[in-house]
Amino acid sequence: MESKMILYFDMDGVLVDFESGVRRLPEEAVREYDGRLDEVPGIFALMDPMPGAIEAVEELSKHYDAYILSTAPWNNPSAWADKVRFVQKYFPKVFRKRLILSHRKDLLRGDFLIDDRPKHGAKAFRGEWIQMGSERFPDWKAVLKYLIPVPERKFLKEKWVVNEFCGTPELNHYYETGELPKDETMRKLYEQMIEKGEI
């Protein structure tokens, strides 16, 4: 039986309504931390789930190997603990011991990452980055429509090859020596990249 595809969820702006926490801050805290509200101690303990997030996670977790992949502010230690508490409160079963906090999301392997911003490696994620809040994926309804039914792996193979192949020593080797990759998919991709002037 083929294993499930790996799906990562960001927290802030995807699962968590950051603005709901800001609205609960005292005015003096808002003034003191202006421009860096994510550093307010305890702010992440004040936040609510994004509308539709709980239901979407429950549905997607039936079809995917689901994890949270988020970033916590380096200068706000309370945020790290508060994110764990948020998961324990709202997603106690689905994400139990499935919370990953990293400032380099591009280092993790997986098939999909739902994230609202390109920062912290999201844009360079090796699978497919689904940008929540974008024109294509404005809400959870659009995300669910895209991810269910689950896309067949064969349709994603070329995208994986692009992400794995571009900028690697192997690509440089083929370019410098004039050799062609032995793998048929890689060879076609390499030829297309040359035709388009991408390398």
Which of the residues are catalytic?
10, 12
CA R_g for the chain: 20
- CB distance 63 to 147 below 8 Å: yes
Closest CA to 25 of 45, 49, 54: 45
Relative to beta strand 128-131, strand 112-115 is parallel
Q: Which residues, in sequence order, are CB contacts of 149 under 8 Å at separation 6+?
A: 63
Q: CA 49, CA 15: separation in Å to the nearest integer?
A: 6
